[in-house]
Structure 1
Amino acid sequence: MTVKVLFVCLGNICRSPTAHGVFQKLVADAGLQEQIQIDSAGTGDWHIGRGPDERTQRAAQSRGYDLSSLRARQVTSADFDDFDYVLAMDKSNLKDLRAMAGDKTNCHVSLFLDFAESSWQREVPDPYYGEQDGFETVLELVEDGARGLLATIRATGEFSQ
C-alpha cells in the first residue's frame, strides 16, 4: 500500500513546497519513495503553475533541498479522496481545508506541526512578507515536523517496509 501526503499553505510557493521538498528528501533517504507519495498545494489560486518563491528556494538549497521542479497548484475536493494525510501549515488553512472536506473524507486532516517532535509551535509562520530569517525558521520547523510525520507513518504500518 502507498501512503499519500499533501502539504497545504495559502499560495503554495513558500511553506508547503518547503515541506514537500524536505519530506521528499527524508523519504528518499529512508528508501521509502515507492511507499510514500508527496505533493503540495495552496488554498488560494494566485500562483498556480509558478515555482516556489526564490527566497524559499535559496533557503532550501542552502540545506540541500531542491525545490526547482515543484509548481504551485490549488487544493481540489478530489484531494480529500486521493490523499491519506492533508496537512495544513496554519490554523486558517486548516479551517478552509476542513470546510472543503466536510464529513465525507477518510483522510487525516490536521496541522502539519502536530507531528513535530521538539517544537512547541503548531503553526508554520508565513515568511512571504518578512526577511530571509523567516525562511530559515520555516525550514527548522518543517524539518522537525517531517521527522515526526515519517516516524508516525512508519509506526502505523500503513505500508509494507
Structure 2
Amino acid sequence: MIKVLFVCLGNICRSPMAQIIFENMIQEQGLENEFEVDSAGTEGYNEMCHAGIHRGTKEVLRKNGVYFKEHYSRKIRKQDYAYYDYIIAMDSENISDIEYIVGEDKDNKIKRLLDYTNTPRNIKDPWYTGNFDETYDDVIEGCSAFLEYLKLNS
C-alpha cells in the first residue's frame, strides 16, 4: 500500500482539495485499495478549532462535480514522516515548515505537488488569493501527474 500525505499551511484549502481529488482519481481507476491518503497542515490553529474544509474549496469541488466527505484539519506530526511514503507539499514554504516539524528529509519523501508536472511551481494559497478555480486547476494537474508517476514507478 502506498501512503500519501498532502500538506499545506492550514489544511482547510489546498491539501484537503488535493486529498479529495486524488482519492477520486484513484477510485475512478479502481486503485483505492492500493493507497492510503490523508492531508495535514503545518500550522495547528485550525486543528484547535476543529476547522472543516473552507467554503471556497467546497464550492469549487461541487462546481466541478467532485464528490467529497467532510474533513477536519490536523497538524502534521513528527511521526508522519516515518509513516507516509510521500509527503506532498503545495509550496516551497510548506516544505521548509514540514522539515522544521519532522526533521531532515533523509529519505527524499517531501516534494511539491507540481514538481511532478512539466512546469514545477508552487500552488498559490486561495485563502490569500481568493482564486479557488486556479488552485483547483493546479491541483488537478498535479494529482494527475503524481498518479502517473506512481503508476510508472511502483
Equivalent residues in 2 for 1:6-45 (5 A)?
Answer: 6-45=5-44
What is the count of residue pairs matched by the alignment? 152
The answer to whether the 8 A contact 1:8-1:88 is kept is yes
Across the aligned residues of Structure 1 and Structure 2, the Cα RMSD in angstroms comes to 1.5
1:54 matched residue in structure 2: 55
- Consecutive unaligned residues in structure 1, runs of 5 or more: none
- Cα distance per residue 1:13-32 (max 9 Å; x no partner): 00001101100100100111
Provide the TM-score with structure 2 as the length reference.
0.92
The answer to whether the 8 A contact 2:12-2:73 is kept is yes
User: Of residues 143, 148, 153 in structure 2, which corresponds to 1:151?
Assistant: 148
Cα distance in 1 for partners of 2:110, 2:151 equals 18
Q: Percent identity?
A: 30
1:122 matched residue in structure 2: 121
Q: Residue 80 and residue 122 in structure 1: after superposition, are their counterparts in 2 closer, same or farther (change >3 A)?
A: same
Cα distance in 2 for partners of 1:21, 1:94 equals 21
Equivalent residues in 2 for 1:51-130 (5 A)?
Answer: 51-103=52-104, 105-106=106-107, 108-117=109-118, 120=119, 122-130=121-129
What is the deviation of 1:153?
A: 0.7
- Paired AA for residue 124 in structure 2: P
Provide the TM-score with structure 1 as the length reference.
0.88
Deviates more, 1:106-115 or 1:53-62: 106-115
Q: Higher helix share goes to which structure?
A: 2
| Secondary structure in structure 2 of the residue aligned to 1:87 | strand
Cα distance in 1 for partners of 2:97, 2:145 equals 24
The answer to whether the 8 A contact 2:99-2:105 is kept is no
Cα distance in 2 for partners of 1:35, 1:105 equals 25
- Consecutive unaligned residues in structure 2, runs of 5 or more: none
- Paired AA for residue 44 in structure 2: D
What is the deviation of 1:106?
A: 3.0
Cα distance in 1 for partners of 2:104, 2:43 equals 22
